[in-house]
Amino acid sequence: MRELIEFVPEIILSDFSMPGFDGMQALRIARVRAPDTPFLFVSGTLGEEYAIRAMQDGATDYVLKSNLIRLPAALKRALAETKVRLARQSAEAGLARAQRMAVLAHVITGPGGVFESWSDTLVQLLGGDAAGVPQTTRQWLDLIHPDDRPDFRGRSLAAAATGDRMDVSYRLRRNDGEWIDIQQVIEPLSPGHEPPGGARWFNTLQDVTAQKRAETHIRRLNRVYAVLSGINSLIVKARNRNELFRDACRIAVEHGKFPLAWIGMLNKDQKRLEIAGSSGNSEGYLARMPLAVGTDSEEVEGLPGLAIRSRAAVIVNDIAHDERIGPRIEALARGFCSLVLLPLVVRGEALGVMALYAEQNGFFDSQEMRLLNELAGDISFAIDHIEKAEKLEYLSYYDPLTGLANGMLLMDRLSQAAASTKSGEKLVLALLDIERFKTINDMIGRQEGDLLLAGMAARLIGLAGNSNRVARVGADRFAVIIPEVRREARIARIIDDGFAKVEGEPFRVGDTELRIAVRSGVAIYPNDGADADSLFRNAEAALKKAKATGDKYLFYTQRMTERFAERLALENKLRQAVERQEFVLHYQPKLALTDHSIVGVEALIRWQTPQGLVHPDQFISLLEETGLIVQAGAWALRRAALDHRSWTEQGLRAPRIAVNVSPVQLRGNFTEMLKAALAEGVSPAGIDLEITESLIMEDIAGNIAKLKAVRDLGVNIAIDDFGTGYSSLGYLAKLPVQSLKIDGSFISTMEQDANAMTLVSTIISLAHSLRLKVTAEGVRTESQAKMLRLLHCDEMQGYLFGRPLALEAITEQLRGNG
């Protein structure tokens, strides 16, 4: 108790349980001796029931010792609310004083509104000139504000008509031109006092200008108090800066009735403010606001920049007559009359500004500014608090050197990626170690070593295409997540390409160029682990083994390592085959059903190795995956054109050669490549193309245009494997094609399956109705050929008539066919 009297604290903090003393007893003493001092419990034992009781008995707030991070904000809020309460009490006391000092006057009016007598205070009320006192109610009416005259006239007439007392408020112009607020009571005098021929009235007039101004000022202060209180509550619970800025502006508009509030944060690099939050009538206005900061900026600096540089509030209490306002006409059109710009200062540096607009001139006086400066301080405190909290959170989940996720965040992202992996997809986790990093670090120094790690992080982000897929999980260890791999065979190529990109170019560290080597361990979800922990653990095991064996990378499963090694070896051989042109074309005849004459041949690519021919099933898909199909396909077209030319020059009846086109080929600059190939042959061209219907349907409009360009070169187009994909009959009629090829799977089953027979018959009828020829693939038996003749199929192709033949063999057959 003695300390309360002598020390006079600004705030009291108390535990709940203390040796020989009780927190509730301390609260009772404080409420008696220092009722205006905020009282906070800081306790580890305060239960919910006692917390409610303490608040009811006058405690301002309570903070648990297990959540002390809330204490600074709670202290600031308690102190701010106390200041608000004391300021309100002071304003209300001022209002009471104004009411006591109000001037009263009276006038007695007779019939016709003649002023019969008046008090001396009426002269004082009008400004001290007795000669200027009106003589009639009509003359008095001239002194009343034009907007208030109808109400005064109406109430006066109502009093005359009813004989009842009437109250009326209005603005009156004094002799010196000043407008004052008047409260007037009109009361009838008793009948005994009335002269013959009319009633007389006793009018009491009170100058309530000071009271009105005090009431207006209190209302304005209450608006600011409401904003201050709301923002003090906000800073305790705001989770990030965006939420703080957005809600602070919303509170200013909703609670403070400001028509517009916005917050701009300083972009130091661009030397201008960027709008971080706004509320109210801002549409089209903020875009015209001058937001430059500094006189050396390329833009003209406005008042917001001045507030930042001066770190002091900038006040405009009459926008209409202040030329410093940038979009002044727009401001007035929106009803803005006053403006304040409050700098947001954190640790001595102005980081931003908060702007508030008012609809009254002179709104921002000294009392408002005391509260608003405190408001800006509260927001600045919240910015600082959030920045520190965000930094702590950042360090919990991110590596400060590279900015990558750390191991903890990686496991979370890995779990999410695994959970979102669809059926048929794979998720790959690769762990990478920089070889001999400790030696490199010792040699070039820690600072340069850090630059190397940052450079490695940048390359890995470029490789992954997304920083969220890369993490630093050790001093020189990184992790890369590769999601949504639909074909397992692509994994080895992805890893191999990744190594080439990471190790290919030297790293420049200062004046030094460094080439590094890495080792990697790879685990695949769900094959090598059903969850993030097991997947990471198995990738570590694979990395450990790779470092021990000296392999560039190893998969967790030995079988996968061997399979991918074989596939990479095959891919390298394929690249050499493309460069050395180790491919050959074999030709399979197409026969007319009418006389079995050769009407065309299909070119089929084969890979000629020293060990013999490699079947297309073993390498075509790999050519497409690697993109080598573009080079191989261009070679096939050129070779087919040359072979057709050779037959023509030998005097043979050269059949047209059909060449299959891959989707990868058609997506590129296919038409130009085809022109170059056809130039090797004869004119008119003897080359046709076969394209699958699924390829055409990928981009119907684009492919129609491309195929028309191909058709203009004299090349016929057939839709291959018709019936196995999805196509639109509406688009089929628009395609520039000449024939359809029925897939061999339907031909082989049509004699046993009625549905297959119906489908083959329907395709032939449909094609003929569209004036297209029909070729049946995969014909193996005479009975199949007979059935196709009955269905009026045009051409056949299959083992019944011959397997694909090398160039020499097909040439001999053509001589016999002639």
Per-residue pLDDT reduced to its tens digit, 110-142: 888 889 888 888 888 888 777 778 888 888 999
514 Cβ neighbours under 8 A, 6+ residues apart:
440, 444, 452, 506, 507, 508
Say which range, 27-31, 43-47, 657-661, 758-762, has the weakest mean pLDDT.
Answer: 43-47
Sequential DSSP letters for 666-714: HHSSHHHHHHHHHTTS-SS--EEEEEEHHHHHHTHHHHHHHHHHHHTTT
Sequential DSSP letters for 277-336: EEEES-TTTGGGS--B-STTSSSPB-HHHHHHHHTS-EEES-GGG-TT-TTHHHHHHTT-
Alpha carbon distance 202, 189 (integer Å): 6
* pLDDT computed for residue 98 by the predictor: 47
**Which CATH number is 103-207 given?**
3.30.450.20
CATH 3.30.450.40 residue ranges of the chain are 218-395
> For the sheet containing 314-316, what is the strand order?
272-280, 260-267, 349-358, 338-346, 314-316
CATH 3.40.50.2300 residue ranges of the chain are 1-59
Task: Single out the residue of 414, 409, 381 nearest to residue 396, CA to CA.
Answer: 409
Contact between 376 and 344 (Cβ < 8 Å): yes
Q: Give the residue, 258 or 228, on which the prediction is more confident.
A: 258
- Could you say which architecture CATH assigns to the domain 218-395? 2-Layer Sandwich (3.30)
Alpha carbon distance 339, 758 (integer Å): 82
CATH 3.30.70.270 residue ranges of the chain are 422-573
> In this model, does residue 779 exceed pLDDT 90?
yes
Sequential DSSP letters for 600-654: EEEEEEEEEETTEEE-GGGTHHHHHHHTTHHHHHHHHHHHHHHHHHHHHHTT--P
602 confidence band (pLDDT: 50, 70, 90): very high
Tell me the torsion sign for CA atoms 799, 800, 801, 802: positive
pLDDT digits (tens, 9 = 90+) for 403-462: 899 999 999 999 999 888 888 888 999 999 998 888 888 888 888 888 888 898 998 988
Report, as an integer, the average pLDDT of 778-782: 92
Contact between 40 and 14 (Cβ < 8 Å): yes
pTM above 0.75, yes or no: no
Instruction: Assign 3-class secondary structure to 351-408.
Output: EEEEEEEECCCCCCCHHHHHHHHHHHHHHHHHHHHHHHHHHHHHHHHECCCCCCECHH
Alpha carbon distance 353, 364 (integer Å): 16
* pLDDT computed for residue 196 by the predictor: 45
Alpha carbon distance 145, 166 (integer Å): 19
192 confidence band (pLDDT: 50, 70, 90): very low
100 confidence band (pLDDT: 50, 70, 90): very low
151 confidence band (pLDDT: 50, 70, 90): very high
Q: How many CB atoms lie within 10 A of CB 292?
A: 19
Radius of gyration of the chain, Cα coordinates, nearest whole angstrom: 46
**Which CATH number is 1-59 given?**
3.40.50.2300
CATH 3.20.20.450 residue ranges of the chain are 581-817
Helices of type H across 733-776: 744-749, 754-769
Residue 61 corresponds to which tokens in the numbers above? 């707030």
Alpha carbon distance 373, 80 (integer Å): 12
Residue 557 corresponds to which tokens in the numbers above? 């499963």
At 518, is the secondary structure helix, strand, or coil?
A: strand
Report, as an integer, the average pLDDT of 637-651: 91
Spelled out in words, what is the top-level CATH class assigned to the domain 422-573? Answer: alpha beta
Sequential DSSP letters for 436-499: THHHHHHHH-HHHHHHHHHHHHHHHHHHHSSGGGEEE-SSSEEEEEEEEE--TTHHHHHHHHHH
Are β-strands 179-188 and 166-173 bridged in parallel, bridged antiparallel, or unpaired?
antiparallel
* pLDDT computed for residue 768 by the predictor: 92
Average pLDDT of the chain to the nearest whole number:
83
Are β-strands 39-43 and 12-14 bridged in parallel, bridged antiparallel, or unpaired?
parallel
Q: What is the DSSP letter of 67?
A: G
* pLDDT computed for residue 4 by the predictor: 58
Task: Single out the residue of 163, 159, 157 nearest to residue 138, CA to CA.
Answer: 157
In the chain, the amino acid numbered 315 is I
Task: Single out the residue of 496, 553, 494 nearest to residue 522, CA to CA.
Answer: 553
Alpha carbon distance 97, 213 (integer Å): 12
90 confidence band (pLDDT: 50, 70, 90): low
Sequential DSSP letters for 527-563: TT-SSHHHHHHHHHHHHHHHHHHT-SEEESSHHHHHH
Alpha carbon distance 101, 122 (integer Å): 15
Spelled out in words, what is the top-level CATH class assigned to the domain 581-817? Answer: alpha beta
Alpha carbon distance 171, 213 (integer Å): 13
Sequential DSSP letters for 170-221: EEEE-TTS-EEEEEEEEEEPPGGGPPTTS--EEEEEEE-HHHHHHHHHHHHH
Residue 12 corresponds to which tokens in the numbers above? 């009291």
Beta bridge partners of 272: 267, 292
Cα–Cα distances in Å, from 228 out to 216, 233, 248, 439? Answer: 18, 9, 10, 59
Alpha carbon distance 188, 163 (integer Å): 6
Q: How many CB atoms lie within 10 A of CB 35?
A: 9
* pLDDT computed for residue 291 by the predictor: 86
Which range scores top for mean pLDDT: 572-576, 614-618, 619-623, 793-797? 793-797
> In this model, does residue 566 exceed pLDDT 70?
no
